[in-house]
A and B are shown apart, each in its own frame.
Chain A
Amino acid sequence: MMPKSPRIWQLAERRYRLLGSKCVLCGKTSVGPRSICPACGSDKVETVQLPSTGTIYSYTVVHSLPAEKNGYGPYIMAIVALEDGTKLTAEIVDCDPEDVKIGMPVELAFRLIGQESEHGIIYYGYKFRPIIPRT
């Protein structure tokens, strides 16, 4: 079978760096590449750096795992609202299920998302974690 490399490569940098799309006309932002603004239909959409911090808009602890996550769970999935209002779906790591809350501040983390197989390519990308306390 053809490895998934092309599909992963197409989006890798956006997932690594949390790049998003922003409409030049109406300012609507979204994660993932778009050539047409989903809000106003303008074709003036540019790639922008999205903020690396936000808060949890909603979350769930996934116990019933998809095949790709065999043995990994339970894990926390959330919709994160970034500082600029952009929402995205991400795993919350370095956080115990009993500690996650709506409104909790989180920051960008770079993590392994999965792999094609033991022999195949490895997928990396964004997850979010509670902000590391600083002294």
Chain B
Amino acid sequence: MREIAVVGVGMTKFGERWDKQLRDLFVEAANEALKDANMERNEIQALYVGNFSAGSFVGQEHVGPLLADYLSLKYKPAFRVESACASSGMAFNLACMAIASGMYDIVMVGGVEKMTDISAPEVTSVHAKAMDAEWESFFGLTLPAAFALIARRHFVQYGTKPEQLAMVSVKNHRNATKNPLAQFQFEVTVERVLTSPIVSDPLHVLDCSPVTDGAAAVILCSAELAKKYTDTPVYVLGFGTASDTIALHDRSDITTLGAVVEASRQAYKMAGIEPKNIDVAELHDSFTITEIISYEDLGFCEKGKGGLMIQEGETEIGGRISVNPSGGLKARGNPIGATGVAQVVEIVQQLRGAAGKRQVSGAEIGMTQNIGGTGSTCVIHIFGRQRR
């Protein structure tokens, strides 16, 4: 299996991009990545793009060729990958395998979502399509409601507190103030989180990732070619992917995401590392509870101790494991299909030492963890400054 390097990254400003269409956002990010890699567009051999639901958001399916067309990748294969919020994490994973197999030498992985063309209740309905349409959302379950069910069980089983959930939001908002591309560049307090409107009890607005327009793109190549494009390639050391039941109610214990446990087990094994070796991680904080559960399921702390981990500041920038220095889904923004690649962009910047005011000093090994739906998909990548 060939080793893989990331040699170029690009990302749009995340937020309400009223004047931009889906294709505009993608082209903006893709051009950034090409520029970052000092690469001509005709060097790209294939495009992998993560997108959750352009059909629902903007009435467009078949986005692979659309985006290839608008990036002028004439006749190049263009794959659209859909795995709910893990769409572009999965696209990245498939691109890694394409490089590793020797099928392609250079590929672009993008992710894009244009969400603000429809109303908030409509967005809630589209989000809900990431769950079981017939046995969950049909009956009125929303995605925040599903994570609220998880949070309440976590409260009961492990004594986790709403304040601890709020601390995730406080940390990620603080980090986002140092990220010029982040959607929310303002700080919040625990009190402000807990007094913000309830979305689905016990989750407040400030426990939830927002509605975001945005795109991100990265360029992968075989490790041998990396130095041709950059002095600071970032290498993919390992990855893991796993699925779980589509419906939350079909799991015996909803406070653990089995797909996260399994995907991380694969990724650690492939990279030959342990959780303690991770310096910086971009985790899937679609909701504050998701970050806390992820600490546990990724082995960053014992099961049930996620609330304590945030409370003790272990995941602050410069803490034991810096989590979501970009601001995470919560504050950087969560354009669903773009989120997985946006995580990769951040980890690459961190490992290059180019993350500016939010730089985790001495970061050698980083992780991205991208979750789809209620944890029905999990895809994890581990990155390093050095080849394996």
By a beta-carbon cutoff of 8 Å, the part of chain A in contact with chain B is 11, 30-32, 38, 57-70, 75, 77-79, 87-91, 97, 102, 113-114, 123, 125-127
A30 x B152 contact (CB < 8 A): no
CB of B387 to closest CB in A, whole Å:
40
Question: Which residue on A lies nearest to B131, using beta carbons?
Answer: A89
Q: Which of A38, A69, A79, A88 contacts B140 (CB 8 A)?
A: A69
Q: Which of A57, A64, A127 contacts B200 (CB 8 A)?
A: A64
Q: Given the known A-B contacts A38-B250, A87-B249, are A64 and B134 also in contact in the complex, defined by CB atoms under 8 Å? A: no
CB of B166 to closest CB in A, whole Å:
17
The interface bits of chain B over 183-200 (1 if a CB of A lies within 8 angstroms of the residue's CB, else 0) are 000000000000001111
Residues of A within 8 A of B156 (CB): 58, 102
B250 x A30 contact (CB < 8 A): yes
CB of B151 to closest CB in A, whole Å:
8
Residues of A within 8 A of B145 (CB): 60, 62, 77
**Residues of B116-153 whose CB lies within 8 A of A:** 119-122, 124-125, 128, 132, 134-142, 144-145, 148-150, 152-153
B254 at interface by CB-CB < 8 Å: yes
Question: Which residue on B lies nearest to A123, using beta carbons?
Answer: B138
Expressed in whole angstroms, the Cα–Cα distance for A11 and B92 within the complex equals: 37
6 additional contacts (CB under 8 A) given A58-B153, A97-B201:
A59-B149, A60-B148, A60-B203, A62-B145, A113-B138, A126-B139
B134 x A89 contact (CB < 8 A): no
The interface bits of chain B over 147-175 (1 if a CB of A lies within 8 angstroms of the residue's CB, else 0) are 01110110010000000000000000000
Expressed in whole angstroms, the Cα–Cα distance for A61 and B197 within the complex equals: 12
A60 x B140 contact (CB < 8 A): no
Residues of B within 8 A of A30 (CB): 250
Assign chain B's interface to a size class.
35 or more
B245 at interface by CB-CB < 8 Å: yes
Residues of B within 8 A of A38 (CB): 245, 250
Q: Which of A61, A64, A89, A97 contacts B136 (CB 8 A)?
A: A89
Main DSSP-derived SS at the A contact region: strand
Expressed in whole angstroms, the Cα–Cα distance for A126 and B134 within the complex equals: 12
B247 at interface by CB-CB < 8 Å: yes
B140 x A75 contact (CB < 8 A): yes
Query: 4 closest A-B pairs (Cβ-Cβ)?
Result: A60-B148, A61-B201, A67-B121, A87-B249
B27 at interface by CB-CB < 8 Å: no
Question: Which residue on A lies nearest to B142, using beta carbons?
Answer: A66
Residues of B within 8 A of A75 (CB): 140
Q: Which of A57, A59, A65, A66 contacts B137 (CB 8 A)?
A: A66
Residues of A within 8 A of B248 (CB): 79, 89
A89 x B247 contact (CB < 8 A): yes
Expressed in whole angstroms, the Cα–Cα distance for A17 and B120 within the complex equals: 34
Residues of B within 8 A of A61 (CB): 198, 200-201
Residues of B within 8 A of A60 (CB): 145, 148-149, 152, 200-203
Residues of A within 8 A of B245 (CB): 38
A63 x B121 contact (CB < 8 A): no
CB of B385 to closest CB in A, whole Å:
42
Q: Given the known A-B contacts A60-B149, A63-B198, A64-B144, are A79 and B122 also in contact in the complex, defined by CB atoms under 8 Å? A: no
Question: Which residue on B lies nearest to A70, using beta carbons?
Answer: B121
Expressed in whole angstroms, the Cα–Cα distance for A79 and B145 within the complex equals: 11
Residues of A within 8 A of B122 (CB): 67
A77 x B141 contact (CB < 8 A): yes
CB of B321 to closest CB in A, whole Å:
29
Question: Which residue on B lies nearest to A32, using beta carbons?
Answer: B135
Residues of B within 8 A of A63 (CB): 197-201
CB of B172 to closest CB in A, whole Å:
20
Residues of A within 8 A of B202 (CB): 60
A78 x B149 contact (CB < 8 A): yes
Residues of A within 8 A of B139 (CB): 77, 89-91, 113, 125-127
Q: Which of A11, A57, A66 contacts B153 (CB 8 A)?
A: A57
Expressed in whole angstroms, the Cα–Cα distance for A67 and B124 within the complex equals: 7
